[in-house]
Amino acid sequence: MIQTDTVVAISTPRGAGGIGVVRLSGSEALSIGRRIFRSQPPLGERVRHVEYGRVWAEGRAIDTGVAWAFVAPHSYTGEDTVEISCHGSMVVLESVVEEALRLGASSAGPGEFTRRAFLNGRLDLLEAEAVIDLIQASSKASLDNAYGLAGGRLSELVRKLKKRVVKALSLIEIGLDFSDADIDEIGRQEIRAELREVIEGSLRLAETFEGAKRRQEGYFVALIGRPNVGKSTLLNVLLGEDRAIVTPIPGTTRDLVEGKTVWSGQTMRLVDTAGIRQTDDPIEKEGIGRTSRAIDEADVVLAIFDSSAKWCDDDQIVLDLLPSEKSIAIFNKVDLPCILDRSKVEPRALSFVDISALTELGLEDLKRESATRIPQKMEIDGIGITRQRHQDCLMRAARSGTAAGKLLTDGQPDECVVVELQEALNALGEMLGERTDEDVLDAIFSEFCIGK
């Protein structure tokens, strides 16, 4: 059988009993699809109709199901596409794929359908990447962002920046074409105004990276406290699993133990740190060093004190480490008689929550209070960039815009300004995927799973 440009993959694998979809895309999708899926009328005769029929493989019917066809260019990939939905046992799904391979299709690589959509101009690169974000979204907040990106909101902002660079370029080129002298002062002012917008716009967008990354990966919540205050117990109950080892011997959590959970629609990355105390043990010292770094990096610090014990020097060390703007004091073990002198903590003007990790009292208050400490969203038009690649392109655009402005101010030849503006244009074009190497595309689409 001649190999065709058509690819096939299981698009929604499910266990036995569920529904699974096999997707075909390419110039032979319809002819291959019709040989596998037999219906009356045949698949694709009624465009955008769902047909009911039999699924054939190796010369016999193996299942019944439904299928639909989209005709190029009106499909996700921009090519002829067939989707066959059958009973989701892996045997059925794999038989359908094998039959398609026998009929000349090849196996789709990771993200191949989205890659084809990109290559056929159905999506730009930012929108294609957002499909990955949509698939991988772990919270409502990151889903909202991914949906905005997939809908082209970021692409629109980048195109607006590009337009400004093009305007600046055309103003210079008018000067180069029509006079021996360089562009006049009014022209220069106009160019500078466009450049300012490009630089500021690029930088503002670039700055959304940290916030969006945090939202995607989870806000960093560090649990700190002297040994034995109940950090590990608290982490376990918050994560609902035995992630940290709980023992009554002080100093057992020497490494950082972490897990993710979702509070109020936001992904939180909870990290149990080594207990803080005065020590000469080098391993424990290293653990405490890591705790200090974790405090620096954390978005929220939960400083845990044992309300059933007397205030001690180690509690004081913890208190002295606290950055007040992002810390919450947690008084644990309130199921026991409270003997801790709380007045030591109160002057630090932190918020306070009483809990019992053991009886799970006060945990909702703790979650609510933590959610209020999450850094304010840094977004533009409700979206933030989610990749280092985006930030690099935006920073390049900002740098070239700045360099172009300086050349203009210094009275350097307009041709030099043009070179910088071209570079800004390239950077923004690359961000949209207008000019992108195969290697870069391979790296981007390898993040996808097969079938998407």
Give the footprint of ligand GDP on this chain (CB under 6 A).
225, 227-233, 246-248, 253, 275, 332-333, 335-336, 356-358
CB of 253 to ligand GDP, least distance (A): 5
The strand pairing partners of 328, in sequence order, are 302, 351
CB of 369 to ligand GDP, least distance (A): 17
Distance CA 99, CA 110 (A): 20
Tell me the residue nearest to ligand GDP as measured from the CB: 230
Residue 354's nearest CA partner among 247, 227, 234 is 234
Query: If 0-12 CB within 10 Å is exposed, 13-18 middle and 19+ buried, where does residue 162 land?
Result: buried
CB of 136 to ligand GDP, least distance (A): 31
Residue 337's nearest CA partner among 303, 366, 309 is 309
User: By C-beta, is 252 or 412 nearer to ligand GDP?
Assistant: 252
User: By C-beta, is 21 or 237 nearer to ligand GDP?
Assistant: 237
Q: Tokens 């698939």 correspond to what residue?
A: 135
Q: Which residues, at least 6 apart from 69, have a Cβ–Cβ distance to it below 8 Å?
A: 29, 30, 33, 43, 44, 47, 80, 81, 82, 83
User: By C-beta, is 316 or 446 nearer to ligand GDP?
Assistant: 316
User: By C-beta, is 107 or 247 nearer to ligand GDP?
Assistant: 247
CB of 112 to ligand GDP, least distance (A): 47
Please compute, for residue 23, the number of CA atoms within 13 A of its CA located in the half-sphere on the CB side: 22
User: By C-beta, is 130 or 274 nearer to ligand GDP?
Assistant: 274
User: By C-beta, is 1 or 249 nearer to ligand GDP?
Assistant: 249
Q: Please, are residues 65 and 118 in contact by the beta-carbon 8 Å criterion?
A: no
User: By C-beta, is 217 or 335 nearer to ligand GDP?
Assistant: 335
User: By C-beta, is 238 or 431 nearer to ligand GDP?
Assistant: 238
Three-state DSSP at 224 gives strand
Query: If 0-12 CB within 10 Å is exposed, 13-18 middle and 19+ buried, where does residue 18 land?
Result: exposed
CB of 246 to ligand GDP, least distance (A): 4
Q: Please, are residues 207 and 377 in contact by the beta-carbon 8 Å criterion?
A: no
CB of 356 to ligand GDP, least distance (A): 4
Query: If 0-12 CB within 10 Å is exposed, 13-18 middle and 19+ buried, where does residue 177 land?
Result: exposed
CB of 286 to ligand GDP, least distance (A): 17
CB of 346 to ligand GDP, least distance (A): 21
Q: Please, are residues 441 and 238 in contact by the beta-carbon 8 Å criterion?
A: no
Distance CA 115, CA 79 (A): 12
